[in-house]
A and B are shown apart, each in its own frame.
Chain A
Amino acid sequence: MKWNGKVLLGAAAAAALAFSAPMLSAQDAAPKTIKVGYAISKTGPNAGGANITQIPNYQLWVQEVNAKGGLLIKKYGKRIPIEVIEYDDRSNSEEAVRAVERLINQDKVDLLLPPWGTGINLAVGPTFNKHNFPQITFSAVTDRAPELAKRWPNSFWFLGTSKQYVDALVDLLVKLRKEGKINDQIAMVSVADSFGIDLSKAARAGFEKAGFKIVFDKSYPVGTQDMAPIVGEAERSKADTFVAFSYPPDTVAIVDQARLTSYAPKVMFTGVGTFFPLFPQRFGENAEGVVSLGGWSKDNKATMEYREKIRKLVNRDPDYWGSQIGYSSLQMLEQAIERVGSLDRTAIIKELQNGTFDTVIGKIKLENNMPKDAYWLLGQWQDGLYVGVAPQRPGVAELRVPKAPWKK
Chain B
Amino acid sequence: MSARNLVIVLALAGLVALLALVPSVANGYQLSLAINIMNYTVLATAWTLFSGPTRYVSLATVAFFGIGAYTVAVLGEVLAWPLVLLIAFVIGFMLSLLVGLSTLRLSGVYFVIFTFGLAELVRQLVTWYEVNVTRTLGRYVFVDITTEQIYWQLLALAVAVFISGWLIQRSKLGLALRVIGDDEAVARHVGINTTMAKVVLFAFSASFMTLAGAVMAPRWTYIDPAIAFNPVVSFQVLIMALLGGVHRLYGPVFGVIPLALLFEFLLAKFPNHFSIMVGIAFLLIVYAIPRGIVGLIEGAQLSLHRLKGAKA
Contact = CB atoms under 8 A, between A and B. Distances in A.
B169 to A, nearest CB: 24
B137 A119 contact: no
Contacts, number: 118
Contacts of A197: 130-131, 135-138
A131 B28 CA distance: 10
Interface string B274-293: 11000000000000000000
Q: Is the interface of A mostly helix, strand, loop or mixed?
A: helix
A92 interface: yes
B303 interface: no
A105 B131 contact: no
A198 interface: yes
A165 B164 CA distance: 53
Interface in B4-34: 15, 18-19, 22, 25-34
Nearest to B221: A122
A106 interface: yes
24 contacts: A3-B19, A3-B22, A7-B22, A10-B25, A45-B226, A87-B271, A90-B267, A92-B232, A93-B219, A93-B222, A93-B227, A94-B36, A95-B267, A97-B220, A102-B29, A104-B28, A105-B27, A126-B221, A130-B28, A194-B137, A194-B138, A197-B138, A219-B132, A221-B124
Q: Is the interface of B mostly helix, strand, loop or mixed?
A: helix
B216 interface: yes
Contacts of B135: 197, 201
Contacts of B230: 92
Interface of B: 15, 18-19, 22, 25-34, 36, 124, 127-128, 130-132, 135-138, 140, 142, 216, 219-222, 224, 226-227, 230, 232, 257, 264, 267-268, 271-272, 274-275
A90 B224 CA distance: 16
Contact of A192 (B137, B227, B275): B137
Contacts of A88: 267, 271-272, 274
B140 A144 contact: yes
Contacts of A127: 28
A43 B276 CA distance: 11
A125 B221 contact: yes
B131 A11 contact: no
A405 to B, nearest CB: 34
B19 to A, nearest CB: 7
A2 interface: yes
A151 B140 CA distance: 13
A101 interface: yes
